[in-house]
Every structure is written in structure tokens, then in C-alpha cells.
Amino acid sequence: MRASAEPLMHRRVSHRLLPVAVASVLAMGMRGAAGEPDPQVGPCPDGMSTVERTLCIGRVLEQKDKQLSIAMQKVAADAAAVPGGQFPTIWKDSLTGFFKTSADPEDQVAAFQQARRNACVFMNSLAVQGTGFGIFVSNCEIRLTDALLQSLN
């Protein structure tokens, strides 16, 4: 039982933990979606050896990160085309002030990758996945990247 009567949703969350919390909620919400692969299976066949599967997942994640970089470049180009040639003020202020990153697409990708990794490592501990740590985390990272790519398209 909680010591405080304050509703959980009103508690303050550290700005550094917010991206992790959001990513965790996104990934957990996707976990049981119809047609989605099991997080342990992911995009690479289950019948592969651990080494083969790890290499396969690494290649898939690398490709997803390239797609993400291209998508973020497109967002930057679209934003630059807005009259005045600047990112919308609220969005830019949110990136620089709250999330401590920049409006530079590569900085955004790097910040997302770090938050994604943290969220997936945390999810691994929540799911009590003692074995297959790297495979679980990498598959989680692929799914979070897919979710962001889908929202950017």
C-alpha cells in the first residue's frame, strides 16, 4: 500500500526518467498486439544459434537506426521549410530545455537510442528475463524504433 494518498499520475517524474517511462509504456503496450512477433523471437528465426541470432538482430537494429536517421532528417527538412526557417518554438524548447538535447536530428537519434536502451534494459528486469539478455533488449529496441518510425511516417 502506498504511503501517500496522492494519485500516482500526479507524482513528479524526473525529466531524465520520462523518456524511459514513455518508452517502457509504449513497448509494454505493444507486447501483446495481434500479429506482433514474440519479443524473444523478433525479426530473426528462432531456429538460429544464439550467435547467428545475435548477429541477425544486430543487423536489423542497425538498419532500423539508419531508417530512423533518415526519418529524423526529413523531420528537420520539413521543419526548416516552415515559414521563418525555424523549428516550432514549443518543440525546440521541449527538446533543448526539458530533454536536454538539441533540434539537430543526429542528436535526437542519439538521445532516443540512449533512452531506448535504458527502457529495454529496465523492461528486461521487469520481465525477469535472466537468459537471452542481449536478444531480449535488442528485440525491444527494434520494436521501440518501429513505433517511433511509424509515428514519424
Contacts made by residues 102-107, CB under 8 angstroms, sequence distance 24+: 103/76, 103/79, 104/76, 105/69, 105/72, 105/73, 105/75, 105/76, 106/69, 106/72
* Amino acid present at 52: E
Per-residue pLDDT at 2 exceeds 70: no
Condensed to tens digits (0 to 9), the pLDDT of residues 19-73 reads 444 444 444 444 444 444 444 457 888 888 889 999 999 999 999 999 999 999 9
Among 72, 65, 70, smallest CA distance to 117 is for: 65
116, 141 Cβ separation under 8 angstroms: yes
Average pLDDT over residues 13-19: 43
**The pLDDT of residue 87:** 62
Among 71, 68, 59, smallest CA distance to 138 is for: 59
Show me where the domains of the chain are located: 47-152
Q: How far is CA 115 from the centre of its chain?
A: 6
76, 103 Cβ separation under 8 angstroms: yes
Per-residue pLDDT at 131 exceeds 90: no
Q: How many other CB atoms are there within 10 angstroms of residue 21's CB atom?
A: 14
93, 106 Cβ separation under 8 angstroms: no
**Distant-in-sequence, close-in-space partners of 146: CB < 8 Å, separation ≥ 6:** 64
**The pLDDT of residue 129:** 59
- pTM of this structure: 0.68
